[in-house]
Amino acid sequence: MLNDPIANTMSLILNNELIGKSECLISPVSKVIKEILRVMKENGYVKDFEEIADSRGNYIRLNLTGGVNKCGVIKPRYSVKSNEFENFEKRYLPAKDIGILFVSTPRGIMTHYDAKSKKTGGRLLAYCY
């Protein structure tokens, strides 16, 4: 039984990147995982992904670019205001303007850069650089 599907997905991506694979299969699938993968695709960390229907539940085939150095989840899921992102950037990202934080906002899942520009806060989900 899985306790945190987002953490399992991020570790699967990182492990497959480290051993040099070009694709990986992600299961189970949820809306949050699909949104995180969409944001990763928009920022160039992964190529593309497709959801494949299966009799035991769906899974995602993800094509990797080799652009992920580190990714992981943020626990506990801190609540962040629009002017507090800098503290968490210092904690989870290696340098200024390198990497992204995934934020769950009332407007959907987005990067912390988008959340700053839209002046909205939310909960931190994960990071990637």
What b-and-e string marks burial along 78-104, b requiring 16 or more CB atoms within 10 Å of the CB?
eebebeebeebbeebbeeeeebbbbbb
**Residue 2: what pLDDT?**
76
| DSSP secondary structure letters along 5-40 | HHHHHHHHHHHHHHTT-SEEEE-S--HHHHHHHHHH
- Same CATH fold, 71-128 and 5-64? no
**Residue 1: what pLDDT?**
57
Give the C-alpha separation, 25 to 35, whole Å. Answer: 16
Q: Taking the domains of the chain in order of start, what are their residue ranges? A: 5-64, 71-128
**Residue 57: what pLDDT?**
83
Phi-psi region of 66 (alpha: psi -120 to 50; beta: other; left: phi over 0): left
For the domain spanning 71-128, the CATH number is 3.30.1490.10
Spell out the per-residue pLDDT of the chain, length 129, in tens: 578 999 999 999 999 999 999 999 999 999 999 999 999 999 999 999 999 998 888 999 999 999 999 999 999 999 999 999 999 999 999 998 999 999 999 999 999 999 999 999 999 999 999
pTM of this structure:
0.93
Give the C-alpha separation, 126 to 11, whole Å. Answer: 11
Per-residue tokens: 39: 């944001």
Ranges of H-type helices in the chain: 5-18, 31-42, 85-92, 112-117
For the domain spanning 5-64, the CATH number is 3.30.1370.30
